[in-house]
Structure 1
Amino acid sequence: MALSISQVNIYVEDQQRAVDFWTGKLGFEVTTDLPYGEDRWVEVQPSGGGTRLVLNKADPAGPTPAKDMPNYVMFQADDIVKVHRELAARGVEFTQEPSEQPWGWSAVFKDDDGNLFHLGQG
C-alpha cells in the first residue's frame, strides 16, 4: 500500500492575508478558493505541485496554534542558503537562520499569522 499526504491544515486569522503570504512571498499557487460557510475553503500548493496547504480560518473562541514551536511541516530545499536569501528578500521572516545540524541543514520561518515552519536540506 502506498500512501501520500495530500493536504495539511494551517489555521490563520485572516485567510486573504494568508493567501497573499503563501502566493506572494513563497510563490505558491491557489488551487481551490470556494465559499465555505461564512469563510472560504482555500488551498495553495507549490508551483511545481505537491502537498496542498488548506488555509483554515481559526475560530477566535477556540484554541490558538502554538507560536513558540514550529509546526511539524518541513519544506525541503536543494540549496537552503540560496532559498533563505530569496525568501528573506521577499519579506519572509526567519526566526532561525540556516544552520548545520547532525541530520542536515535547518532554518525556521514564520508566516504572517506567526505560525512557524521548518526549512530543511538533507
Structure 2
Amino acid sequence: MINNIGKITLYFENQEDAKNFWVKKLNFVVKLEQEMGPGMKWIEVAPSKESLTTFILYDKNMMKVQNPAVNVEHPSILLSTNDIDKAYIDMKNNSVEVGELMNMPYGKMFSFKDLENNDYLLREDK
C-alpha cells in the first residue's frame, strides 16, 4: 500500500532563504525546483541526489491562502505509493478516514487521517 516516506513539507516565510540554508549551510542538494503557477514555486531538497525522502520548502503564506486549515507551524508528511487507486480502496476498506482522490497536474493524491486525527497525504510516484 505505502512504499516510502516520500516528502516532508516544511513551511517558510521565504523559500529562497530556506533553500540557501539547507543547500549552503547543510550541504543538501536541490532535487527539484520548478514554477507551479503565478507566484508559486516547488522546491525539494535532500541530503543527496540519491535520497528517496525530500524536504519540500513551501511558502507559508501561499499555503495559508490555498488551505487556511493547514497547520503551517508543523511539517506536512507526504507518503508515496506505486498504485494510488489500490491504496485508496484498501484504506477505505480498512476504515481509514480518507479525503477525495485528487487528480492534479503533477499526479494523483489523497489525504487521510490517523487515529488521532493527524493529516497525511499519499501521492502516487510513477
If the TM-score is normalised by the length of the shorter chain, which range does it land in? 0.3 to 0.5
What is the TM-score when the length of structure 1 is the normalising length? 0.48
More helix by share: 2
